[in-house]
Chain A
Amino acid sequence: MGAAAVERFLEGTGLQRKPAALSLLSGLGAKLTRASDLPSSSLPRDPLPTTVAALDRLLLGGLPRGGFVEVSGRRSCGRFSIGIATLAAATSSGETAALVDLGSHLDPQSAEDAGVDLTRVLWVRPAKLKDAVASAEMTLSAGFPLVVLDLGLPPLRGRFIPDAAWVRLERAARQRHAMLLLLAPYRISGVAADAVVAADAMRPVWRGAAMHGAPKLLAGVASRLTLQKDARARSGIAEQMGLRVDATLSIPSLPATGERGTFSRRRGEGHLIAAAR
């Protein structure tokens, strides 16, 4: 580039004649702030969307194949729902999945209602944390494309698990090109996980309050997901997540006294029908 051209460039006159160069600087170029944001060939591709929009946004599309994602959070933060939604996404796309369920918390009825194809799910119910980790490793070695390891509710049953075990799980997932989703009450996997998401600040949403003295109805929960660690150094980003209860509130013909009404709440195939008192 000659001196005149540089001068024109600095004055901006050259850019007016080169819209492509301008768009480069204002578009992609403006976004290239860190090298770590560049897509790397070593990073796992072809993510599986978890169908939880907030988590998919944080993980740039979903669970990475060959990756290890940990979701931690207190009770009722929605992490179990994330696991169920991921199982539903995987099985609805025709893939098999394994759920290692420490504490045996799965409700097959509600899982089916959430869209999980139960025939494609291997349900492993260990009683101890050590067995849960061993089961996850075995299922990864068997070639399951998705393994959801749910550690249940605190206090965790079993002895302390060394960090090396988590690293081994991460390697098993990477070698098998499998997705490993760890759901834990607190951050447990040390440095092994590729991405760590913390779920916190659960806020229940109630409906039907003070309506003719009728009981409230749980409509869902709102929670916030924060990316605590990411292989692409994008930590600190937060997203709001909303989960709803499949419930209907109907008061077809309230008597004039307003004393009684009928509520129905659907859970899978079953209906809970109650008279409000």
Chain B
Amino acid sequence: MIACLFVPLFPLAARLRSEPELKDEDLAIFEGNGNAARVVAASRKARKAGVETGMTLPQARARIPKLIARGRDRECERAAQQSLLEVAESFSPRIEDAGEGVAYADLEGHAKLMGGGKPRPYDADVGAALEAARDLARDIVRAAEKAGLPARVGVAASKLAARIAAGLPDTPAVVPEGDEARFLAPLPLERLAPQMEIAATLERWGLTSIGDLAKLPEGEVASRLGEIGRALHAAARGVDPRPLEPYLPPPSFTEGMDLEWPLATLEPFLFLANAALERLLARLEFRALSCTRLEVTLKLDPDGCDARAISLPAPTRDAKTLLTLVRLELEARPPGAPVCGFVFTAHPDSPRRAQLSLFGPAALSPDRLATTIARLAALLGADRVGSPRAVDGHRPERFTATGFSPPPPPRERLAPRAGRGLLSVRVLRPPVPLEVILDTKARGARPSTLKSPPEATPPITGTVRVAAGPWSLEEGWWSDAPADRDYWDVELSGGGLYRIYRERTANAWFADGVYD
């Protein structure tokens, strides 16, 4: 037997579970923004006043001016669904998460254990077995109420019948095994939730109940409505071949130990951490998983706790890498006291694989690449590792960098494109301030001598041999940091070809590039 736990008006129930004080208020749950927001569920009081599903907020407020409107809260619903699963799991180890306030529990063989405290032979007497199942269902309803969820429970031999039984207002509903067709027959066709077009067709045929559909010949229904009609006809007869799909809770990967004496230096700790990480990664490997995030919790002496998390760009199972990251993390931010215990918690994820190519350039291993980027980021800082990107604008020093995620290599190795033979500029970040002596004898004032401050890097000092310019640049005059510059290309007599500019507003000179 399968029990279906169904929470009607799930968005509302989830919200009331979090805010029980709204239980007796005019409450409506909306989905969508602005004018597109529609009522998805409303409290009993609001429904009595005329608020219906699908109404807009103005329409609902027209009926109840003081209506409390709440948006749909996915986090609330996720927690409520988890709670419902926990209720189901407290009655059976085999449960299924069907989402949106529906869960199934396999009750096979459990009635003997939980039927009202005294053992009852389940299959000895049908009546007694039904009563045992009903007792069990009542227990489930009570447990759900305890968890703050107004669940209805249906018990039947198939998931379909259990789900429909759970939808009935009289709860709990128990359908005897083999009696599904008789149970379904008087119910309206809407309970099978047929598609809108099919429902219209069935209505035209004059069918109102599930039994009416079940009486029709299957072949005739299938020939007129296709595969969907055939499946609907089977459902009307109570035939549901879908098995229960067991829900597997995510495993917890945790390794750690309490130390007999506190550790004040890093090396002994890393020695123990290495062994713990290897055990943890072996467990991950056993399940063909990798670590995508490592949480490190240190128990400090005499009391206290230091928790930190190391995120990885891609999942890895390399203990050496994780140990290096732990080392870098602890070196960067040492705990404030000796460590007397530690726990590593790995967040698992599937490892990424790269498709190898026979003819094209080899792709980088995502695992190794992620590890390298994480190590580089730990060594240099996350903002110093990435993939460069050009930025729209005219300021030569502009740049941005994003996460490095190269496209897959081509299937065949391409010949390198012919070079353009361009002279590149080394951008000086930040620009080097300059003292510039101008030659006013020349046509227009031109730089004749440059001198950078003694502490400037790189030092730029010398007599200008050739100066070309000025090239005017003006950008962002509407912003707080406008650029209003005159650029010059200068060649110094001692060698070196620089790009310098005069900031017109401050009349200050800078070198921002070296042609190299």
Contact = CB atoms under 8 A, between A and B. Distances in A.
A238 interface: no
A80 B497 contact: no
Contact of A76 (B416, B429, B516): B516
Interface in A230-277: 242-246, 263, 265, 267-275, 277
A275 B407 contact: no
B497 A202 contact: yes
B369 A115 contact: no
A92 B375 CA distance: 27
Interface stretch (A35-43, A105-113, A162-170): A105-113
Given A94-B361, A152-B426, A215-B469, A75 B514 contact: yes
A102 to B, nearest CB: 11
Interface string B360-388: 11101100110111011001100011111
Interface stretch (B155-163, B300-308, B392-400): B392-400
Nearest to B486: A274
A245 B413 CA distance: 30
Contacts of B487: 272, 274
Contacts of B330: none
Contact of A51 (B391, B418, B497): B418
Given A75-B496, A202-B497, A126 B392 contact: no
A228 interface: no
A160 to B, nearest CB: 18
B339 to A, nearest CB: 27
A242 B468 CA distance: 20
Contact of A52 (B373, B379, B419): B419
Contacts of A126: 379-380, 384
A131 B364 contact: no
B491 interface: yes
Interface string A108-123: 1111111100111111
Interface in B28-72: none
A76 B457 contact: no
Given A246-B422, A272-B487, A76 B389 contact: no
B428 interface: yes
Most buried by A among B392, B397, B420: B420
A108 B426 CA distance: 11
B466 interface: yes
A135 B415 CA distance: 28
B406 interface: yes
Interface string A53-93: 10000000000000000000011111111011100111011
A88 B419 contact: yes
Interface stretch (B177-185, B188-196, B200-208, B470-478): B470-478
A110 B388 CA distance: 11
B421 interface: yes
B388 A244 contact: no
A53 B418 CA distance: 10
A77 B379 CA distance: 31
A35 to B, nearest CB: 32
Given A114-B422, A145-B361, A270-B393, A90 B416 contact: yes
A272 B495 contact: no
A142 interface: yes
B169 interface: no
A174 interface: no
Given A74-B495, A122-B387, A270-B394, A138 B380 contact: no
Majority secondary structure, A binding face: mixed
Given A48-B416, A109-B396, A221-B423, A124 B516 contact: no
A274 B471 contact: yes
B399 A106 contact: yes
A235 to B, nearest CB: 24
Interface residues of A, number: 90
A112 B471 contact: no
B124 interface: no
A114 B420 CA distance: 6
Given A105-B428, A153-B426, A89 B388 contact: no
Contact of B416 (A92, A131, A244): A92
A119 B407 contact: yes
Given A51-B418, A94-B414, A120-B406, A143 B362 contact: yes
Contacts of A215: 468-470
Interface in A192-229: 202, 204, 206, 213, 215-218, 220-221
A89 B387 CA distance: 17
A105 to B, nearest CB: 4
A152 to B, nearest CB: 7
B471 A108 contact: no
A214 B393 CA distance: 26
A272 B496 CA distance: 22
Contact of A121 (B361, B364, B388): B388
Interface in A127-169: 127, 131, 134-135, 138-139, 141-145, 152-155, 157
B422 A81 contact: yes
Contact of A106 (B384, B388, B394): B388
A80 B426 contact: yes
Contacts of A277: 444, 470
B457 A107 contact: no
A93 B458 contact: no
A94 B409 contact: yes
Most buried by A among B389, B425, B429: B425
A206 B414 contact: no
B229 to A, nearest CB: 51
B376 A138 contact: yes
Most buried by B among A142, A216, A268: A142
Contacts of A53: 419, 421
Contact of B387 (A75, A104, A119, A155): A119
B427 A107 contact: yes
Nearest to B368: A142
A103 to B, nearest CB: 8
Nearest to B426: A105
A125 interface: yes
10 contacts: A79-B516, A81-B516, A88-B416, A113-B422, A114-B420, A115-B420, A127-B384, A216-B466, A221-B515, A272-B473
Given A105-B514, A118-B388, A202-B497, 11 more contacts: A75-B497, A80-B424, A92-B414, A94-B410, A105-B429, A107-B396, A109-B398, A115-B417, A120-B406, A206-B468, A267-B396
Q: Which 5 A-B pairs have the closest CB atoms?
A: A51-B419, A142-B372, A89-B416, A105-B426, A92-B417
